[in-house]
Amino acid sequence: MPQSKPDRAPDGMTRALDEAREAAARGEVPVGAVVMRDGKVLASAGNRTLELKDPTAHAEMLALRLACEEIGSERLIGCDLYVTLEPCPMCAAAISFSRIRRLYFGAPDPKGGAVENGVRLYASPTCHHAPEVYGGLGESEAAGLLRQFFRERR
């Protein structure tokens, strides 16, 4: 379940927003993600589904994979994930399986989200690990990037 917002937005969200802008510049849906541990960036990525022709190449999935490679483990214990959009069911499950400690996300996703919306994966009794969740960090900027991106394509 979502927690209350921390007093200030964590530094990782700034980097996630940069990744989202870079994704938009490549023609991808502007979503960015950053994995951090002990104040250090382990990995960052933006959406690359079109570029890689891979439906699983969401920012979160790519950042989780890179972080796992960086530390040499499939478990990201003690790590935090910053992402500009509420994760979808696939990404929410990967976050759980990787044992992310805290999830910070920007804009909610009423249509495709799986944390505060949709299936609410972390509230399910079958969820093995639920991170602490902090939504709404950088929400206006993240939502603005998405609105602008889709407005330009209509």
Active site residue 86: no
Pairing of strands 40-46, 32-37: antiparallel
Query: Which residue in 19, 22, 28, 60 is the catalytic one?
Result: 60
Q: What is the dihedral of CA 110, 123, 48, 50, to 10 degrees?
A: -60
3-state secondary structure of 72: coil
- 79 annotated as a binding-site residue: no
What span, in angstroms and rounded, lies between the C-alpha atoms of 151 and 94? Answer: 30
CB count within 10 Å of CB 111 equals 9
Structure tokens at 93: 């499950």
Our separate counts of H helices and E strands in the chain read 5, 6
Query: Is 88 annotated for ligand binding?
Result: yes
Is 127 marked as binding a ligand?
Answer: no
Binding site, by residue number, is 58, 88, 91
Q: Which residues are catalytically annotated?
A: 60
Instruction: Name the binding residues for Zn(2+).
Output: 58, 88, 91
